[in-house]
Chains A and B, each alone.
Chain A
């Protein structure tokens, strides 16, 4: 089954404790992206990757890191999490086409709480 898999689905942690949210896709997509979704706000892009070893900042990259060593994986790293990073996070992937002609496939989200 074609899917984007995120882990963990839920995480409660404390300020300053490094964490990684993994994202894996099995559709051979070149493009991958991370978003956060907060109440009343639209999805906001954190980082994206056009292909292996190519990453770029989105609209809200502060406090986050990513890497793209393999085509299928795109982990999101919070080196020193803070409470304002409490949010619902989504990973997405698609074939190339930032003009929207390729639909993005989203994972089911990771709900992150930073105390």
Chain B
């Protein structure tokens, strides 16, 4: 069964601290994985895409990793800011044209 599991469900950290969000996927045949950021009251916005052959990719303070062997991805946020408060959604794509969304991690940054 194709599925994406994210952990933790929610996370609260202090401004300036780092954090790592996890995503485990069982999607076959696997194609790509995207991380989206969803601000409260808004639609998701793509942060980064990880292809099968990529291990690490950075987008500013966001760094995504992918381990295709263990079927795990992580999103690391460095020096968090208040504007990072949002839900982060992991999305796995199969080459059979299936799109599987995780239920997201709700991140709260406290001043």
Contacts and interface: CB of A to CB of B under 8 A. Distances in A.
Interface stretch (A12-20, A70-78, A98-106): A98-106
* Chain A interface SS verdict (over half): loop
Contacts, number: 56
A100 B41 contact: no
Interface stretch (A36-44, A61-69, A79-87): A36-44
Interface string A24-49: 00000000000100001111110000
B43 A109 contact: yes
Contacts of A106: 43-45
A41 B95 CA distance: 23
Given A98-B93, A99-B93, A103-B34, A40 B103 contact: yes
Q: How large is the interface on A (under 10, 10 to 19, 20 to 34, 35 or more residues)?
A: 20 to 34
B93 A108 contact: no
Contacts of B32: 99-101
Given A42-B101, A42-B103, A99-B31, A104 B89 contact: no
Interface in B22-41: 31-34, 41
B97 interface: yes
Interface of A: 4, 35, 40-45, 90, 92, 98-101, 103-109
